[in-house]
Structure 1
């Protein structure tokens, strides 16, 4: 098991390095001049040149990369070019907002999709057909449109939840839960449809296996056969899709945070990219990839626990 985890961890470190490196060189090859934007449209050539020297943009790209990488491996992600704040502080302030949304959405997705997928596989008939139709519709509707509808109905018209803003859990736990409910639900609906469909298909395949019929013929309770045997063997496929949905939810949070006026990682990434704030863009990318690696590592651990054959792959 230790060797299994070390292999996955090493692969994650390589992934972070490759994506961070690619992002750095791509941002350096855009052809734009951040120094001109920072100095302002009225700045003269001397002022722009001074700002470019201050930011280190007059140095070769490879030299700047080596300098950034040397600081990054020590935990220093640099300073924002526009706010002069440490990137780690900016990302650290925005990260809890995005994590609140994504973790709430992923927990909601796991709970609801398992119930729906198992019910559709076991009952069949109308329940199965309804799930398939709803899955197609939910997957096709953009999450920002779902978010706007939820905000209009439950926040504006009914006043049950706040339409915009984020409340820290340390300040008001109830307010925090209310502030993330609609955004998390908007994120989760599409993911629920995808994972529920996968759970349904996996459960149907498992329930058709000979060992399930053998367990039933021996008189084991139907609940025990379903939960202890069928669901456990169907779980790996659903867990894999669920871990992939985590990545999709991070991407979806970029739009949802705009809809609900939340200052999370998505909002920071959008503003940094539009301004050309390269250090902040790199910081967001690195932190996001690290989160994806951690989630995939946890998913691999769970898969290894559910199916020991995975540890040998």
Structure 2
């Protein structure tokens, strides 16, 4: 297992290097635009050349990338081209905001999805139809529309929750919970639809297998069969969908953060892309890729723990 983890970490590092190298190459086409943006209306051919040299953009591209990569290995992600803010702490603080919303939403999504999926597969009938209707609701209604409705109802009409803004947990836990409630609900509605359908489908398949019939003939209760045996075996595909859903939530955080004015990872990435802040974009890329690699590794390990067949000896 240790060797397997090391291999996965090695593959993750290689993937990160490839992604950052390709991203740096693509960003190199905007070097001149970044220089002109910094100079503004005073940009002249001479000043552009001088600023390009001052920023190091006139050096060979591979040399620039290796210099940046060396800084990353030392824990230095550089500074923002436009604000001179250290990139590492800036990205980490914004990512903490996004994760505080996404992880809470993911935890609630898992609880709701597993409960609905298992109930739907085990009971059938009305419970199954209600679970499918709930999933359909999440598929049909776009998150932006749901967000607007929730803001109008709970923030504007009832004044129970703030419409926009974010309060850090360490400043005021209750205000933090209030500030993320509506964004979390929006993410949960969309995420629960996908995972509920996956749990329901895999549970139905498991409950039709021979070992379930064997357990029933031995007098084992339905509750024990569903929760201790079928659910454990059905967890693998659901975990895979869960990892994809986590990545989807991170991508959807851009819209959520713009709507609710949250100072998170998505908003920071959007603003940095508009400004052409190359150093910040590279830092965001590293954090994003490493986060995805870690999530996939955790899912594989949990899947191996739940399913002995998936374990690597």
User: What TM-score do the two structures reach when normalised by structure 2?
Assistant: 0.95
**SS of residue paired to 1:58:** coil
1:100 Cα deviation after fit: 0.3
Deviations 1:178-217 (A, max 9, x none): 1111111111211110000000000000000111111112
Which sits farther off after the overlay, 188-197 or 17-26?
17-26
1:48 Cα deviation after fit: 2.6
Q: In the alignment, what sits opposite 2:286?
A: 286
**SS of residue paired to 2:311:** helix
Q: In the alignment, what sits opposite 1:3?
A: 3
Q: In the alignment, what sits opposite 1:242?
A: 242
1:177 Cα deviation after fit: 1.0
Contact 2:38–2:82 under 8 Å retained in 1: yes
1:196 and 2:196 are equivalent in the alignment:
yes
Deviations 1:23-48 (A, max 9, x none): 11111134751000011123333333
1:250 Cα deviation after fit: 0.5
Tell me the distance in 2 between the aligned counterparts of 1:75 and 1:281.
16
Question: What pairs up with 1:1-313 in 2 under 5 angstroms?
Answer: 1-30=1-30, 33-312=33-312
Contact 1:4–1:311 under 8 Å retained in 2: no
Contact 2:30–2:276 under 8 Å retained in 1: no
Tell me the distance in 2 between the aligned counterparts of 1:141 and 1:18.
37
Tell me the distance in 1 between the aligned counterparts of 2:206 and 2:41.
65
1:90 Cα deviation after fit: 1.3
Contact 2:32–2:52 under 8 Å retained in 1: no
**SS of residue paired to 2:95:** helix
Contact 1:143–1:252 under 8 Å retained in 2: no
Contact 2:232–2:307 under 8 Å retained in 1: no
Contact 2:95–2:265 under 8 Å retained in 1: yes
1:140 Cα deviation after fit: 4.0
CA RMSD of the aligned region, Å?
1.6
Tell me the distance in 2 between the aligned counterparts of 1:159 and 1:193.
28
CA 1:18–1:145 in 2, change beyond 3 Å: closer, same or farther?
A: farther
**SS of residue paired to 1:82:** coil
Which sits farther off after the overlay, 92-101 or 270-279?
92-101
**SS of residue paired to 1:41:** helix
Deviations 1:120-142 (A, max 9, x none): 11121233233334323412433
Contact 1:135–1:194 under 8 Å retained in 2: yes
